[in-house]
Amino acid sequence: MSIELFASQCEFYDAVNFPHGFRRSGEFTLAESDILSRCGYTIKQLINKRLEPQNEEQERILKVITGEVEATSNVEKAWSKYLSKTSQKAHMKRCILSDVINDADYSSDDYAYDDEA
């Protein structure tokens, strides 16, 4: 599959998940970073239905994303990797002390202090 079938005039970037860019994230190879930057905008437009698939390769990547077929091309593999990295970040939850304290059912009666000891 040719990168040119997905290439766009607009460069794709994800400032939320990769604020320093795909290349500097340490998550992607240089080739994957280039593919995401050059093809990501078109793929995102296809996913959001703002762009209709123009060829079989664009239709196929939508099937890859929905899990109907396995990723085989470099473009499909790079986008699948991107999705796996961004979905993992979305599922991570920050745990702070107030979450732990508020979730527990404590009362002052639970702690008896023995003054005689």
Residue pLDDT, tens place only, 54-65:
999 999 999 999
Kindly write down the DSSP assignment for every residue of 26-81, as one continuous string: SSS-HHHHHHHHHHHHHHHHHHTTSS---SHHHHHHHHHHHTSS---SHHHHHHHH
Share of the chain above pLDDT 70, in %: 74
pLDDT tier at 29, thresholds 50, 70, 90:
very high
Question: Is residue 91 a part of any domain in this protein?
Answer: yes
pTM across the whole model: 0.72
Helix (H) or strand (E) holding 90: helix 74-91
Question: Is residue 72 a part of any domain in this protein?
Answer: yes
Question: Is residue 112 a part of any domain in this protein?
Answer: no
Structural domain tally of the chain?
Answer: 1
- Domain residues for the domain of 19 are 3-96
